[in-house]
Amino acid sequence: MGIKTAHMPFSHIEQQAQSWKDNVLGAICFCEPLSDNNIAEVAEFPTIQLHAPILDGADFSSEIWLSKPVLPQCKSLRSGLHSAIQYRFNDELLFGVICVPELNSLQSATESAYNQIFALMEEQDYPYIYRFWNYMADINGVDNGLERYRQFNVGRKDAFSACDAKIANQLPAACALGLADGPLTIAFLLGRQRPVAIENPRQINAYEYPEEYGPRTPSFSRATLLHSDQDALLFISGTASIVGHVTQHPLDVLAQTRETLVNLEAVIAEANRMIGKSKFNLHDIYFRVYIRHVADLSLVRDEMQRYIGGTIRAVFVQADICRQDLLLEIEATAGHTLALSSTS
């Protein structure tokens, strides 16, 4: 696939060798809000720095996407700027980041961010979206008469709808989380190979949610899968305690954790069905766990540990989930070699 991830604390990134940095497409980094003064600039590649309390797994708190040169003569990465987007790319992949301040509303900031991303896709000819990571302040707050997550959905959907069908019909994997403050911050991964969109048979597809969740439906699928004869890469969207379209077990974080894990297993089973092999599982996977209430950390972590067993690779951060009654959300990424052993 020509791409892999590495995970490490934010402070370790700048200490890496130049030859390693040369292969970095971009990074998604969680940093403690209070340690701002020792935050280095990582201007060499597109990076989003998200200020959220890291509750556990700080060793995995930054996710770095690296291109995996398959051939020695593989061309090095190139960088670019497009409107407010900073991006880095090779012939296969493009990783970009954008931060948009809310001048009028979160809705218009979102529409503007997505319009810029879609314009870049057209301009640079990366027709497929693999993954969006969305972060915004006060996600459950209400302003301009609408909950902010719902405004985000309106802005995103309107930008999608205004596009050419080949973009408008895509449903990439995504997550949408609330942080204490900061501008709307989006990272994205694009490519030239068509991904497979995966849905969860236990859940109503998000783009078909009923109107009670807002005037526009969320534009995402439960996962995207990229695969060839050699390898497969799975991006699992933010996954929560939702069955059908209804939040399950409000106020019960333990039961929400279990329901979320069952949903993750259902998505993984769909991915395995697509590749015709039982390659993906809850063990060989990287998790990012968003927890609404800091005090719930040990309940969530211990239940994941009990359910999955072995050593889990996960970072736990405090963030707000897009529905008031959701206490956690888990996203995951996994890569496998289909020919021989499994690696990420």
Which residues are catalytic, by number? 329
Does residue 220 bind ligand 3EB (CB under 6 A)? yes
Half-sphere exposure of 97 (CA within 13 A, CB side): 20
User: Across the strands, what pairs with 147?
Assistant: 142
Name every residue whose Cβ is closer than 8 Å to that of residue 185 and which is 6 or more positions away in sequence: 48, 50, 97, 98, 99, 134, 135, 136
CB of 242 to ligand 3EB, least distance (A): 5
Binding of ligand 3EB by 175 (CB under 6 A) = yes
When the beta carbons of 42 and 198 are compared against ligand 3EB, the nearer one is: 198
238 binds ligand 3EB (CB under 6 A): yes
Least distance in angstroms from the C-beta of 12 to ligand 3EB: 28
Beta strands in 85-138 (DSSP E): 85-89, 93-100, 128-137
214, two tokens = 């807002």
Residue span binding ligand 3EB (CB under 6 A) among the ranges 6-14, 157-165, 174-182, 289-297: 174-182
Q: CB under 8 Å to 61, separation ≥6 — which residues? A: 7, 8, 9, 10, 29, 30, 31, 54, 315, 317
| Residue at 139: amino acid letter | I
What is the C-alpha separation between 178 and 319, in angstroms, rounded? 6
Indicate whether 304 belongs to the interface with ligand 3EB (CB under 6 A).
no
Torsions phi, psi for 20 (to 5 deg):
-75, -45
Is residue 330 within the footprint of ligand 3EB (CB under 6 A)?
no
Binding mask 176-215 for ligand 3EB (x = CB under 6 A): x-----------------------------x---------
**Which residue number, 13 or 223, has a Cβ lying nearer to ligand 3EB?**
223
Pairing of strands 328-337, 231-239: antiparallel
**Minimum CB–partner distance for residue 169 and ligand 3EB (Å):** 17
Query: Which residue sits closest to ligand 3EB, CB atoms considered?
Result: 238
**By rule CB under 6 A, what string of x and - marks binding of each residue 130-149 to ligand 3EB?**
----x---------------
Residue with smaller CB distance to ligand 3EB, 131 or 336: 131
Q: Is 237 in the site for ligand 3EB (CB under 6 A)?
A: yes
Which CB atom, from 244 or from 309, has the smaller least distance to ligand 3EB? 244
113 binds ligand 3EB (CB under 6 A): no
- Least Å from the CB of residue 26 to ligand 3EB: 19
CA distance 323 to 134: 15
Residue 118 to residue 62: CA distance in whole angstroms: 26
Q: Distance (Å, rounded) from C-alpha 237 to C-alpha 205?
A: 12
Q: Judged by CB under 6 A, how many residues of this single chain contact ligand 3EB?
A: 12
- Given the rule CB under 6 A, which residues bind ligand 3EB? 134, 174-176, 206, 218, 220, 237-238, 240, 242, 322
